[in-house]
């Protein structure tokens, strides 16, 4: 295809073109939306370049209608930074928000979200989540040494794609609300060369993305919205007890996006 490639942008709009297998004569084009969040239907002229007999032939293709951005909602609800379990803490964790599905689940932040494929396109499609995280953590020990995770201060994918939570996977884009959630934590029981842990400081940043996979074959995942959020806290061991000297969880409102989450590493040391 000329002029447009997978994930390229025209102005503030993003067009996602799926890979076309050699034995496939048709494929789909999907409009990912605009940074302003406006629902817009677009068309684009495409050409295909084919090499035959040593000559390059340019073949015009019919205009493809972009899929309107699906109806969607995304928000965040935050808990609080606490030492758990109370009285004999073993981890500095986010806690304090009850989801109320799949049992009495608690977490530090939740992302109630829904996506609906427009009826004029026959329904179908699924949505899911992807999270990028930039962990910033320091653990200190009685002998004065420190421990920093190997992925410290580096943006990366949070564990897996789609984002793994309970329940994991993809969800029908039929208007149902799914509560993605996160409960990051850092242990306070680490021992370094026989020296017990005496403190931990956390200041993590993250972006949770709402992703859409249109109906049909040979389609690509489309970013719809994201929420930037952060959590942090400092725990110290003094007078034979752990104390939380500071702690916070902050979640911003969702923003529409046409930019895909990208990463070069996977952060797998940030808790669940």
The lowest-confidence range among 56-65, 141-150, 171-180, 200-209 is 56-65
- 43 plus 97 within the same structural domain: no
- 57 plus 138 within the same structural domain: no
173: in domain: yes
| Residue 4 backbone dihedrals phi, psi, to 5 degrees | -125, 135
Domain boundary pick from 65, 90, 111? 65
197: in domain: yes
For position 38, what pLDDT does the model report?
A: 46
Provide the pLDDT confidence category of residue 98 given band limits of 50, 70 and 90: very low
pLDDT (average), residues 205-213: 93
Domain boundary pick from 65, 83, 105? 65
Task: Identify the residue with better confidence: 250 or 211.
Answer: 211
Q: List, as one string, the DSSP characters of 44-94.
A: EEEEEEEEETTEEEEEEEEEEEPPPPPEEEE--EE-EEEEESTTS--EEEE
Domain boundary pick from 46, 65, 84? 65
Residue corresponding to tokens 């930074």: 81
pLDDT digits 0-9 by tens, 103-154: 334 557 889 999 998 776 677 889 999 999 999 999 999 999 999 988 999 9
Provide the pLDDT confidence category of residue 215 given band limits of 50, 70 and 90: confident
Say whether pLDDT at 85 is over 90: no
- 219 plus 108 within the same structural domain: yes
Number of domain units in the chain: 2
256: in domain: yes
1: in domain: no
- 20 plus 150 within the same structural domain: no
4: in domain: no
Residue corresponding to tokens 């994201």: 226
- 45 plus 93 within the same structural domain: no
For position 107, what pLDDT does the model report?
A: 58
- 45 plus 143 within the same structural domain: no
Mean residue pLDDT of the chain comes to 74
Task: Identify the residue with better confidence: 161 or 243.
Answer: 161
- 57 plus 80 within the same structural domain: no
- Give CA angle at 210 (208, 214), nearest 5°: 155
**Contact status, residue 197 vs residue 190, Cβ threshold 8 Å:** yes
Write the CA distances from 156 to 39, 115, 131, 220, 266, integer angstroms: 30, 25, 9, 21, 5
Per the structure, the complete domain to which residue 247 belongs is given by 71-267
- 30 plus 77 within the same structural domain: no
In angstroms, the CA 154 to CA 221 distance is 24
pLDDT digits 0-9 by tens, 9-37: 444 444 444 434 444 554 444 444 444 44
**Contact status, residue 157 vs residue 266, Cβ threshold 8 Å:** yes
Provide the pLDDT confidence category of residue 166 given band limits of 50, 70 and 90: low
- 235 plus 100 within the same structural domain: yes
- 37 plus 99 within the same structural domain: no
In angstroms, the CA 131 to CA 144 distance is 34
Task: Identify the residue with better confidence: 179 or 8.
Answer: 179
Say whether pLDDT at 97 is over 50: no
In angstroms, the CA 45 to CA 61 distance is 7
2: in domain: no
For position 16, what pLDDT does the model report?
A: 42
- 113 plus 38 within the same structural domain: no
272: in domain: no
């Amino acid at each position: 295809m000329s002029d447009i490639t997978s994930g390229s942008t025209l102005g503030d709009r993003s067009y996602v073109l799926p890979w076309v297998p050699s034995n496939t004569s048709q494929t789909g084009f999907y409009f990912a939306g605009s940074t302003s969040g406006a629902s817009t239907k677009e068309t684009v002229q495409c050409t295909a370049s084919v090499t035959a007999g040593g000559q390059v032939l340019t073949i015009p293709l019919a205009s493809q209608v972009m899929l309107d951005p699906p109806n969607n909602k995304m928000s965040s609800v935050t808990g609080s930074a606490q030492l758990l379990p109370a009285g004999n803490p073993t981890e500095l964790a986010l806690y304090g928000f009850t989801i109320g599905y799949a049992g009495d689940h608690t977490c530090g932040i939740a992302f109630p979200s829904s996506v609906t494929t427009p009826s004029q396109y026959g329904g179908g499609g699924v949505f899911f989540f992807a999270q990028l995280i930039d962990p910033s953590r320091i653990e200190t020990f009685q002998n004065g040494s420190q421990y920093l995770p190997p992925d410290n201060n580096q943006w990366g994918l949070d564990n897996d794609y789609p984002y793994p939570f309970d329940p994991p996977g993809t969800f029908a884009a039929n208007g149902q609300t799914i509560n993605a959630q996160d409960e990051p934590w850092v242990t306070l029981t680490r021992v370094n060369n026989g020296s017990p842990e005496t403190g931990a400081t956390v200041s993590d940043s993250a972006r949770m993305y709402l992703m859409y996979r249109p109906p049909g074959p040979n389609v690509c995942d489309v970013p719809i919205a994201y929420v930037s959020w952060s959590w942090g806290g400092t725990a110290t061991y003094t007078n034979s007890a752990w104390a939380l000297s500071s702690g916070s969880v902050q979640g911003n409102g969702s923003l529409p996006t046409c930019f895909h989450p990208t990463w070069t590493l996977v952060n797998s040391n940030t808790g669940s």
